[in-house]
Structure 1
């Protein structure tokens, strides 16, 4: 069974809150241990200063999560020669398939709704495992982008992984404008999957 390192939360960080074993629940499945903070967003000080807070997603949030997904795919489908109704139907089908796939293959992930100043603003799906953390998905609605919130949250996620001595992974579509941010923050390409790149960051 994987154990939380003795120095969890002891790394240098801009976060005001240090995490300890008591801040996490530990679940084991098929010989793999997963960590989940008891309070979503605990220790993410930069995100808090940017006005972000977090809550765990519920089934009632599916329409909102679908809207976030649709907003994240708007640029990709802007030039498609389809009627708007057909685009919307396709993106909704894509969301449903993605949601089922993610829930099946990452059952122990933390599924969070990102809030800004009390309003639902985006989604963050994060999986914490023995030697790495994976950002399954991170997305904000257009009105909450380009205001520093995304970078603040990413830096908190980097700090959390580093404090446990872990790498942080994410798959990013090559045409995603956020790729510039990941590069600037020091993420490197670990694998090229054609349309996507698997990025990794480690302190």
Structure 2
């Protein structure tokens, strides 16, 4: 069973390590030693956090738990017509086990109950885009290197998983 708890100061190291886990391979080819890479990733992590806070005044960051263990994080905000999925990271140990699908279905159900859509941006090369497609998200724009996607009630009704 998945459940969520608001991220607190004690989660800081976990959040950084989760972020670094997803980005480390991307920069490995630069040939930096571990200290250089960690310094760079920390700067990127801090910059991302500042950017998200500046853009989303009501940003809600939660830790995802499964069976009492932290397995990821989800950040979201709410606009007048949509829940904005700002960021989601699942630890590599829990990927491809249906966790992302469960999370997105829960988010879609929450949005449906509130009469909202769900919006997100995803890197063009991110394999999660296939999951979003499968769950009824439609491409609404492309701003390389990102793709904008949106789900709403009509895509929920037409979704192949329902």
TM-score of the two chains, using structure 1 as the length reference: 0.71
What is aligned with 2:45? 95
Deviation at 1:57, TM superposition (A): 0.7
Greater fraction of residues in helix: 2
1:90 and 1:167 mapped to 2: Cα distance?
35
Do residues 64 (structure 1) and 14 (structure 2) align?
yes
What is aligned with 1:52? 2
What is aligned with 1:129? 79
Aligned partner of 1:117 among 56, 62, 67: 67
Aligned partner of 2:98 among 120, 141, 148: 148
What is aligned with 1:11? none
Deviation at 1:65, TM superposition (A): 0.7
Aligned partner of 1:199 among 149, 152, 155: 149
2:35 and 2:45 mapped to 1: Cα distance?
15
Aligned partner of 1:178 among 102, 108, 128: 128
Q: Which runs of 5+ in 2 are unaligned?
A: 154-162
Q: Which runs of 5+ in 1 are unaligned?
A: 1-50
1:75 and 1:186 mapped to 2: Cα distance?
30
CA RMSD of aligned residues (A): 1.4
2:38 and 2:66 mapped to 1: Cα distance?
26
TM-score of the two chains, using structure 2 as the length reference: 0.87
1:162 and 1:131 mapped to 2: Cα distance?
11
1:178 and 1:197 mapped to 2: Cα distance?
12
Which of 1 and 2 has greater Rg?
1
